[in-house]
Structure 1
Amino acid sequence: MNTLTKTLATITLSLSTIGMANAADSLFAADESVSSKLCVVAAQGSKIQLHKSIKDSGLSKRYIAENVTCNDQNILAFVQDYAKDPDEMNNALTNGKFNTNVEIIDLAAANTKK
C-alpha cells in the first residue's frame, strides 16, 4: 500500500509540473480588442491565422506594423520577443521587408582612406 501511494504521488506531481510548464508559454488577449487579438495571433506563429485575423480586422498590414502596440511595444518588437519564429511572422506583417541584420560601418576608417 505504501508503494502504491508513493507511485501515485510521483505521477501526480510529474503531471502537474508538465501542465504548469506548458501553461507558462501560452499567451492570451487581455481584452476583446482587435489589437490584442492580433498581438496574440502574431506571437503564436501561424501565418494562416495571422492572415485570417488581419482580414477579419479590416486593417492593412502596414497600419498594423506601424501602429499596433502590444504590452507597450510595437507589434514587430513584441513578436520578436515572444514568437517561436519571429522573423517569419514579422516578414508576413511587413511583406518581406523586415530585416534584423545590422551592418556596422567604421566611419573613422572610411574617412581616413580618402
Structure 2
Amino acid sequence: MKLFTTLATVATISFAMVSSVSGVEITSAKLTAGDKSTSTKICMSAASGSRIALLKSVEQSGYSRQYIYKNLACNELPVTDFVAQYGKSPEKINAMLSRGQYKGQVTIQDVVAP
C-alpha cells in the first residue's frame, strides 16, 4: 500500500511540474531598432506599449492606422502579431490599431503526463 501511495504522489507531483513548466512563456525580449525608417519607428512604438508614442509615430508617418494595421510588417510578422508576441499592453495597442477588428489568435495545447 505504501508503494502505491508513493507512486501516486510522485505521479501527481510530476504532472504538476510538467503542467507548470509547459505553461511558462517568455514574453520579455529586448528589441533594438535596425534602422531609423518610418516603419521601424512605428514597430518600436507599437511594441513599447505606449499609445501616445504610437499615435505620434503614426501621425508623423502620414499613414492611417487602418493602412498600418493591414500593411505594416515588423520582423516579417503582421504588426498585430508582432505586438502580441513582443509588445507591452498588446490588447490595448492592437485594439487601437485595428479599431476593435483584431481578435488575436487562440492556441490550444494538450498536456499529457508521461
TM range (shorter): 0.5 to 0.7
**C-alpha distance in 1 between matches for 2:44 and 2:105:** 25
Measured against aligned partners, the alpha-carbon deviations of 1:34-66 in whole angstroms (never above 9, x if no partner) come to 111111110010001101110000001111011
Q: CA RMSD in A?
A: 1.7
The answer on whether the counterparts of 2:43 and 2:79 sit within 8 Å (CA) in structure 1 is yes
> 2 CA distance for matches of 1:81 and 1:37?
17
Partner Cα distance (2:70, 2:102) in 1: 12
Of the three residues 89, 94, 102, the one matched with 2:93 is 89
State the partner residue of 1:46.
50
Larger RCO: 1 or 2 (CA < 8 Å, sep 6+): 2
C-alpha separation between the residues in 1 aligned to 2:102 and 2:29? 25
In structure 2, what is the Cα distance between the partners aligned to 1:36 and 1:67? Answer: 13
Pairwise mapping of residues 8-47 of structure 1 onto structure 2 (< 5 A)? 25-47=29-51
Aligned residues: 79
Question: What percentage of residue pairs aligned between the two structures are identical?
Answer: 41
The C-alpha deviation readout for 1:53-91, integer Å capped at 9, x for no partner, is: 100000011110111111111111100100121111100
TM-score by length of 2: 0.63
Aligned mates of 2:91, 2:71 — CA distance in 1? 19
Larger radius of gyration, structure 1 or 2? 1
Aligned to 2:22: none
- Cα shift readout 1:79-114 (whole Å, capped 9, x = no counterpart): 010012111110010112222376xxxxxxxxxxxx
- How far does residue 26 in structure 1 lie from its aligned partner after superposition? 3.1
Q: Does 1:72 align with 2:82?
A: no
Bigger shift: residues 73-82 or 27-36: 27-36
Q: Select 2:62's aligned residue among 58, 61, 68.
A: 58
Q: Which has the higher helix share?
A: 1
